Amino acid sequence: MCSKREDVYRVVKAFAAKGEWVNPEAKRYTQFLVRDFERNGLNLTLTKREELQRLRTQIDELSMRYIRNLNDDSTFLLFGQMELVGLPPEFLKSLDEAENGKLKVMLRSHHVSPVLELCKVGLTRRLVAVAYGRRCEINLTVLEKLVQLRHKLARLLGYSNYADYVADLRMANSSSKVFEFLEDISVSLTDLASRELAMLKELKKKEEGESNFGVEDLPYYVKRVQEQQFDLDFGVVKQYFPVNLVLSGIFKICQDLFGLRFEEISDAEVWHCDVQLFSVLDLRSSELLGYFYLDMYSRAGKYDHTCVVALQNGSLNNGAKQIPVALLISQCRKEVGGHPELLRFSELVNLFHEFGHVVHHICSHASFARFSGLRLDPDFVEIPAQVMENWCYESVSLKLISGFHQDITKPIKDDICKSLKRWRCSFSALKLKQEILYCLFDQIIHSTENIDIVGLFKHLHPKVMLGLPMLEGSNPASCFLRSAIGYEAACYSRIWSEVFAADIFALKFGGDLSNQYAGLEFRNKVLAPGGTRDPVEILYDFLGREPSIQAFVDSKTGFR
């Protein structure tokens, strides 16, 4: 890898020192190269470079051990039928039976989530929540060691702590700015979260008497209130979203908003008969902008996540343009018995999100592949995809992409559209408070050394969660995978992108979903630059002001 070669580093560093830039993008590209080299320790002595490599090796080994401990955990709890009242018969039938006739509930999300959401027995919910929250207690020492090593690595590279090392590559820029962001969101949602919690406590009091309300009760009573407040049957909702109709609707929305035309290439050479290839052209000039493959349906041996893969980044080299190519992988089930395949609402939202990534990748005009497509600041890259999700909750767009599967001329009903929009924000403040709790925990352990991880969580929990204490006997740090690997010191990033996506949508599209002027401006000012400009500058240029959290807060509190 060139970013680890000292001879290449010295040449690039010497070129950067001359300051002979062809253009601002070339200057930024060179600065990024130097930063990459130096984050790999090329500016350190050989001894310190070797220490850096040892630290990275140890960090990788401990990260894998943390994951392996969780994956290898086969703990289960035993319950009788009466202790699982409220769970559907098909779920109970799926549980293995022990020799004493009791049913095994594995401490895995596909068992735990249904129990916490549906079981009417409070003691069962509590037992499952505590056991799930104390899995792999050995991982506590693994995480403590991981955090220590990460701080050593950061200091070796000249950073005060690991959180600042991570933030240096992101819009947030510093851990102090992340703390400020999380605190602002948390405080802004406190009043609404308090009202939501009071509602849940009142319902529990009616159903279970004077027993204390605990954090383990949240999933069950949120679901109970939602059932009472919304006449929303997602089995019925699904019948309005045949996959082909949804796809044609997404193409139409992207055409009208962003000035793009999608054309299927019928004789394309593909790796499976289900895969489609589309060319993407500018609607006005018919210029070819890029290609994307669509691999919609699940099958044996296929990668089992929904995502977008950048197969080729766009770039410009001596006047020759390299065309961007993307792959959208989804996991829809193939139609059976001649009936059109129907999308669950969650699948619909995922599809819009991933199309946001496709459009972003295709519309990038960066000269350097390094800045093209989805190779962007991690705090910024999810924003366009989050913006696209909004079209799944507005009546005008829902009617465009929907049609009853037995008669596609009949779009989804108005009352369902209204319920979906209200459901989106239902108990959103409490849910965000829980997420902010984990984000703060992640940020603190990676910005402060020698901290008591167990004590920290006990302190943070009631402070963020409106007085609700941490479940006694649980230890979330031992099974908090995001902080252990992949999102360490960056758990905040999902909320960050959602906040600024809400600001964009409210200001530019909230009053007119088909505002082509705003859509083309979004394409040219936000999507096209890729990583060639600082993301904060891109958003300021597009919004005409500093990005704000207010639209996000308003969307959760119903003031939008």
Catalytic residue list = 354
Q: Are 436 and 185 in contact (CB under 8 A)?
A: yes
Helix (H) or strand (E) holding 79: strand 76-79
Distance of CA 454 to the CA centre of its chain: 26
**C-beta neighbour count of 24 within 10 angstroms:** 10
Query: What is the number of other CB atoms lying within 10 angstroms of the CB of residue 416?
Result: 21
- Please say whether the beta carbons of 128 and 77 come within 8 A: yes
The answer to whether the beta carbons of residues 423 and 223 sit under 8 Å apart is no
What 3-state DSSP class applies to 41?
coil
Please give the angle made by the CA atoms of 220, 226 and 229, to the nearest 5 degrees: 145
Identify the helix (H) or strand (E) that includes residue 125: helix 122-133
Residue with tokens 């200001």: 507
Nearest alpha carbon to residue 500 among 461, 547, 537: 547
In angstroms, the CA 380 to CA 240 distance is 33
Query: Quick one: the chain helix, strand, coil %, rounded to 5?
Result: 55, 10, 35
SS3 string, 439-470, reads HHHHHHHCCCCCCCHHHHHHHHHHHHCCCCCC
- H/E stretch holding 104 reads strand 103-106
- Rounded CA-CA distance 124/260 in Å is 53
- Helix (H) / strand (E) element for 3: namely none
For strands 260-264 and 307-312, give the pairing.
Answer: unpaired
The three-state DSSP-derived secondary structure of 252-316 is HHHHHHHCEEEEECCCCCCCCCCCEEEEEEECCCCCEEEEEEEEEECCCCCCCCCEEEEEECCEE
B/e letters for 388-400, b = 16+ CB within 10 Å, e = fewer, are bbbbbbbbebbbb
Query: Angle CA(409)–CA(515)–CA(280) in degrees, nearest 5?
Result: 75
Q: How far apart are CA 383 and CA 359, in angstroms?
A: 12
- For residues 548 and 298, give the distance between their C-alpha atoms in angstroms, rounded to a whole number: 40
Query: Element (H or E) spanning 47, and its range?
Result: helix 46-72
Residue written as tokens 């619909």? 348
